[in-house]
């Protein structure tokens, strides 16, 4: 039986136990109030040139903050910050590379790197000048240390002062029963784990004292073309303001990427074959490979303090005993701003990513204000900053919550919506993590729809948006995606539209409102999410992580610590 079939088989039992009370008749009016025209109007405003791509720390942030605050006020929602405001201050540091140079010296041959054509890099030590000179280069495979899988790519190697060359995603371990498939018991088979995310690679290398990390970019394993990395990493980046660089020496000095062709050139100069190294890295007995090369990098940056903001509103629950519990809807308001170095259109409007998600949260907020009496538990509408810079707004909230995390029952995150019409299906990114899947499956079934797993689990989408920061601290989190089974369209229409957006519009200035958009399918998706959250707000049993989720232990520890 497939994993999806198992969910369907089990949900009949769970519906009466976990999902809580049946929806109130007043819910229908609220759901009917979610309209395509309203969604589109919000998207048009937020994705207009006037908002300049909604970059944190720019005039676009000021306009975005003002718009969101005014919309929440119009809905009659209370300020979500207990200090009486709609904003949570998020202190950031912006760092823009002025000059980046790099090269590898291998057996008398120099492999030059040109920023940003075939090399991008930053230094998150937040210093104006950072350099690496004559650092030994070591290929460390996928750079993973995973005790639960008996996997260690470092094998005790002292990497202090070294430059690590590594692959993205998880090691593709062959299934012993089928050499053409991946072993589902190691790194979840095709599904990416957090070990596969590029953020993890830099984190583990920093813990081990490496000086620099260069990731090898391949479109299939990364999930996006190198142009996406170039666009993001060659512009101003951000981090949460913390201790000065002199007090945080554990961070690697240089974090960078090179395309696979440049990696092949490097390995060839070192007398190695990249494909052979990759094959070896997929085995548990892999050992790090010194490349007999030395790396040189220099990163010169300008730094600035950025006082950014999460915007938050709250619908207080009507039950005095339950109103301290919260269900949180999130979306990120930021995009990539404006790039004045581009000829022609310079504004990254971010219509789908993520004006559409913000518009959705506003429409969901409107729907909940129509329910009378209000839900028993409170609903929090949190629109966060700096997702495009590393989930920073959500990360800051998770470490500085305005309401106790043990009282935060669930997070529904919206990062992009379906803009091409109704679908039979709704996709759950990271399906199988929590009982939120069972809940959404049951609600969707009442609308004659199905919930399916992500068709591309190897791209690690569950670790790439704001809900992940809630999951990391233990809050059950659900990340929906638009379906692929479009009603009245060809079987491949949905995948074609998905691929078209990834190739042509994702993180490009062309992500704008398109002629022919049909938001009726998005409205159906939002109605499923609203009813799902409403059941939690009214019910007696709370969402839980599944037994095999990597986040279950964190939730259990949180709840145990909160007990008097």
- Of 223-232, 427-436, 521-530, the least confident: 223-232
pLDDT in tens, 532-544: 999 999 997 799 9
**Is the pLDDT at 245 greater than 90, yes or no?**
no
- Of 172-181, 305-314, 373-382, the least confident: 172-181
Specify the pTM. Answer: 0.84
- Of 21-30, 181-190, 302-311, 490-499, the least confident: 21-30
DSSP state, residue 381? E
Q: Which residue has the higher pLDDT, 228 or 244?
A: 228
% the chain with pLDDT above 90: 79
- The full set of domains in the chain, from first to last, is 3-89+308-562 (3.40.630.10), 93-303 (3.50.30.30)
Rounded CA separation 523/412 (Å): 15
Nearest residue to 365 via CA among 74, 155, 24 = 74
Mean pLDDT of the 323-330 span: 98
Provide the pairing of β-strand 254-259 with 120-122: antiparallel
Q: Which residue has the higher pLDDT, 395 or 250?
A: 395
Rounded CA separation 62/104 (Å): 43
Rounded CA separation 46/68 (Å): 9
Rounded CA separation 144/152 (Å): 6
Rounded CA separation 167/218 (Å): 9
pLDDT of residue 87: 98
pLDDT of residue 233: 87
Nearest residue to 182 via CA among 174, 193, 194 = 174
Residue 380: phi and psi, rounded to 5, are -110, 135
Q: What is the DSSP string of 391-457?
A: SHHHHHHHHS-SS-GGGEEEEEE--S---B--BSEEEEETTTSBTHHHHHHHHHHHTT-EEEE-S-G
**Is the pLDDT at 232 greater than 60, yes or no?**
yes
pLDDT in tens, 85-132: 999 999 999 888 889 999 999 999 999 999 999 999 999 888 899 999
What is the separation, in whole angstroms, between the first and last Cα of the chain?
43
How many alpha carbons lie under 13 Å from residue 191 in its C-beta half-sphere? 17
Rounded CA separation 370/37 (Å): 18
Tokens 């669930």 correspond to what residue?
410
Can you say whether the dihedral through the CA atoms of 485, 488, 490, 496 is positive or negative? Answer: negative
Nearest residue to 414 via CA among 8, 132, 42, 7 = 42
- How many CB atoms within 10 Å of residue 233? 19
- Rg of the chain in Å (alpha carbons): 24
- How many CB atoms within 10 Å of residue 138? 19
pLDDT of residue 246: 42
pLDDT band at 2 (very low <50, low <70, confident <90, very high): very low
Q: Which two tokens stand for residue 539?
A: 């019910």
Burial class (CB in 10 A: 0-12, 13-18, 19+), 12: exposed
Q: Considering the chain, what is the average pLDDT of its residues?
A: 92
Nearest residue to 139 via CA among 154, 152, 149 = 154
**Is the pLDDT at 10 greater than 50, yes or no?**
no
């Amino acid at each position: 039986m497939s994993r999806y079939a198992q969910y369907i088989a089990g949900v009949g039992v769970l519906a009466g136990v976990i999902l809580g009370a049946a929806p109130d008749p007043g819910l229908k009016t609220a759901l009917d109030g979610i309209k395509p025209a309203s969604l589109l109007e919000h998207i048009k405003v937020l994705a207009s040139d006037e908002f300049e791509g909604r970059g944190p720390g720019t005039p676009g942030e000021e306009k975005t903050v003002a718009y969101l605050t005014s919309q929440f006020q119009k809905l009659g929602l209370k300020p979500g910050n207990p200090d009486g405001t709609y904003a949570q201050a998020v202190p950031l540091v912006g760092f823009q590379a002025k000059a980046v140079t790099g090269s590898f010296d291998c057996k008398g041959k120099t492999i030059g790197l040109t920023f940003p054509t075939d090399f991008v890099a930053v230094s998150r030590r937040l210093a104006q000048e950072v350099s690496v000179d004559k650092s030994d280069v070591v290929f460390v495979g996928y750079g993973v240390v995973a005790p639960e899988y008996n996997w260690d790519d470092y094998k005790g190697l002292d990497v202090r002062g070294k430059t690590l060359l590594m692959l993205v995603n998880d090691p593709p371990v062959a299934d012993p029963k089928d050499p053409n498939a991946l072993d589902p018991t190691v790194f979840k088979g095709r599904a990416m784990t957090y070990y596969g995310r590029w953020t993890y690679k830099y984190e583990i290398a920093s813990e081990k004292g490496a000086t620099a990390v260069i990731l090898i970019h391949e479109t299939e394993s990364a999930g996006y073309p190198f142009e996406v990395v170039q666009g993001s990493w060659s512009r101003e980046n951000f981090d949460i303001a913390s201790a000065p660089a002199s007090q945080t020496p554990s961070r690697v000095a240089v974090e960078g990427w090179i395309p696979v062709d440049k990696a092949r050139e490097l390995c060839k100069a070192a007398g190695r074959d990249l494909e052979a190294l990759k094959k070896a890295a997929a085995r548990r007995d892999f050992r790090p490979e010194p490349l007999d090369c030395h790396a040189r990098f220099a990163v010169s940056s300008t730094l600035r303090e950025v006082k950014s903001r999460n915007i938050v509103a709250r619908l207080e629950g009507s039950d005095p005993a339950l109103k301290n519990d919260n269900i949180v809807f999130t979306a990120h308001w930021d995009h990539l701003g404006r790039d004045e170095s581009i000829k022609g259109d310079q504004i990254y409007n971010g219509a789908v990513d993520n004006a559409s998600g913000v518009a959705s949260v506003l429409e969901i907020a409107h729907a909940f204000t129509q329910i009378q009496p209000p839900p028993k538990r409170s609903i929090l509408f949190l629109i966060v900053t700096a997702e495009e810079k590393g989930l920073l707004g959500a990360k800051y909230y998770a470490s500085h919550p305005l309401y106790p995390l043990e009282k935060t029952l669930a997070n529904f995150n919206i990062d992009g919506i379906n803009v091409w019409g109704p679908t039979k299906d709704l996709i759950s990114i990271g399906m199988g993590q929590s009982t939120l899947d069972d809940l959404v499956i049951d609600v969707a079934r009442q609308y004659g729809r199905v919930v399916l797993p992500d068709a591309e689990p190897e791209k690690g989408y569950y670790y790439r948006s704001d809900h992940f920061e809630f999951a990391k601290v233990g809050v059950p989190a659900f990340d929906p995606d638009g379906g692929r089974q479009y009603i009245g369209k060809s079987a491949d229409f949905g995948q074609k539209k998905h691929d078209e957006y990834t190739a042509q519009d994702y993180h490009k200035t062309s992500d704008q409102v398109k002629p022919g958009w049909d938001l009726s399918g998005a409205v159906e998706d939002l109605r499923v999410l609203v009813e799902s959250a409403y059941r939690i707000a009214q019910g007696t049993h709370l969402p839980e992580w599944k037994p095999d989720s990597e986040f279950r232990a964190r939730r259990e520890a949180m709840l145990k610590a909160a007990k008097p």
